[in-house]
Amino acid sequence: MSSVISYTLHNCQRCLKCLQVCPTQAIVKQHDRVQIKHKNCINCGRCIQMCHNQGLHAKGSTLNDIENYDHSAVLIPSSIYGLCRNIDDVRHLYGALRQLGFEEIVDLSDIEGALLNKAVDLAQNSDELVILSKCSSTVGLIEQQYPMLYNQVLWLNDASEIAARRLRKKHAGQHIGIFLLCECAAHLAEAKYPYGKKDSEVDHALSVVDLFPKISAMKEFFPEDVQLCPQGLISSSVQLMKEHLPSWVMIPHGHEQLTAALELAEFNQLFDYKMMIPLSCFNGCLGGRLLWGNPFSSESSVVHLLNSANKPCAEMSEEEWFL
Ligand code: SF4
Ligand code: SF4
């Protein structure tokens, strides 16, 4: 995976805090500046969080790219709903995205829910610990620092890729631009440089934090009904996954928990577990470093939204499950 982290020299105060937190030694000091070794970067975003001087940020596409297409669609992962306190806020978000120029808005919660159910089914029948590939940053960490675990990664397809392929079929013959709204640098990178060596069907990855000023300035509601899938919402939340998944699923989140769990897995010490969902950010995807809320209020928002979610999980065909 390539890095989406970019460095701004004139903002940098040379404190080197970014270098100290990078888990893969992807940041080095060279002359009087820091340099990112892009092939080592796993897009965990720890350096961005640590830099208080705007020296580093995750670079995605811009809204100007919409103009290059006859039709534009934006994909919304469940973690983005952590920014919405209730279903009206979700409608507001959809309305704002329409006003920003997207003609089609695609909720991913039904596909995310189906993928989570599939992973649990597969892990249940496995003889060894299954590690879900949901967070590409943790897969990058495994590849570099825990290679013995690499064969245990379950390569389920990403919900955005499945939705994008469906959109391409639906709009065959049309010049459609597919954008993914991203809560973290890893998702930004994944949309552009996916694992599995396949080209992504997603054309552009947008950082949600870049859209924040525009979205929050818009007050109009979009009258269309919005339906969310409860299992997809659950898949975005560490707390809800712990409540709803079997006790043999472990969900280490945040760097310290993650490395502790991977070290134990490497030495085959996780006897009580059949599946691990390792997540790089504290509080998982709801703690995505490109979200503007805090992970605690996002958690409570998603719990709240669960009450108004009744969309069933997506029907999937066999070829859609795997990378
Ligand atoms: S943390 Fe920010 S200011 Fe400090 S060295 Fe890194 S980029 Fe520069
Ligand atoms: S995103 Fe993570 S891996 Fe990449 S340079 Fe920053 S801290 Fe290092």
Q: What is the pLDDT along the chain (323 residues), one digit of tens a residue?
A: 688 999 999 999 999 999 999 999 999 999 889 999 999 999 999 999 999 999 999 988 899 999 999 999 999 999 999 999 899 889 989 989 999 999 999 999 999 999 999 999 999 999 999 999 999 999 999 999 999 999 999 999 999 999 999 999 999 999 999 999 999 999 888 776 654 445 789 999 999 988 888 888 887 666 677 999 999 999 999 999 999 999 999 999 999 999 999 999 999 999 999 999 999 999 999 999 888 778 888 999 999 999 999 999 999 999 999 97
* Cβ atoms of 253 and 282 closer than 8 Å: yes
Distance 47 CA to ligand 2 centre (A): 6
Report the distance separating Cα 297 and Cα 301, nearest Å: 6
Q: Are residues 132 and 32 in the same domain?
A: no
- Name the residue with the closest Cα to ligand 2, atom 7: 22
Q: Is the CB of 49 under 6 A from ligand 1?
A: no
Q: Are residues 157 and 286 in the same domain?
A: yes
Please report the pLDDT score of residue 196 as a whole number.
44
Please report the pLDDT score of residue 216 as a whole number.
80
Q: Are residues 39 and 129 in the same domain?
A: no
Q: Are residues 71 and 45 in the same domain?
A: no
The SS3 call for residue 43 is: coil
Structure tokens at 122: 């597969």
**Which ligand 2 atom is the nearest neighbour of the CA of 140?**
3
Q: Are residues 17 and 119 in the same domain?
A: no
**Amino acid identity, residue 37?**
K
Q: Are residues 268 and 228 in the same domain?
A: yes
Q: Are residues 104 and 232 in the same domain?
A: yes
Q: Is the CB of 5 under 6 A from ligand 2?
A: yes
| Residue 211 DSSP one-character state | H
* Cβ atoms of 82 and 293 closer than 8 Å: yes
Distance 53 CA to ligand 1 centre (A): 7
| Residue 104 DSSP one-character state | E
Please report the pLDDT score of residue 198 as a whole number.
59
Report the distance separating Cα 269 and Cα 256, nearest Å: 17
Q: Are residues 106 and 48 in the same domain?
A: no
Cβ neighbours of residue 81 under 8 Å, at least 6 residues apart?
90, 109, 228, 233, 236, 301, 302, 305
Q: Is the CB of 16 under 6 A from ligand 1?
A: yes
Please report the pLDDT score of residue 197 as a whole number.
47
Report the number of distinct structural domains present in the chain: 2
3-class SS string, 226-252: CCCCHHHHHHCCHHHHHHHCCCCEECC
Please report the pLDDT score of residue 162 as a whole number.
96
Q: Are residues 15 and 98 in the same domain?
A: no
Q: Are residues 160 and 51 in the same domain?
A: no
Report the distance separating Cα 188 and Cα 204, nearest Å: 9
Q: Are residues 232 and 289 in the same domain?
A: yes
**Amino acid identity, residue 293?**
G
Q: Are residues 158 and 268 in the same domain?
A: yes
12 is in which domain, residue-wise? Answer: 5-58
Torsion of CA 304, 306, 311, 314, to 10 degrees: 120
The CATH number of the domain where 42 resides is what?
A: 3.30.70.20
132 strand-pairing partners: 154
**Which ligand 2 atom is the nearest neighbour of the CA of 46?**
7
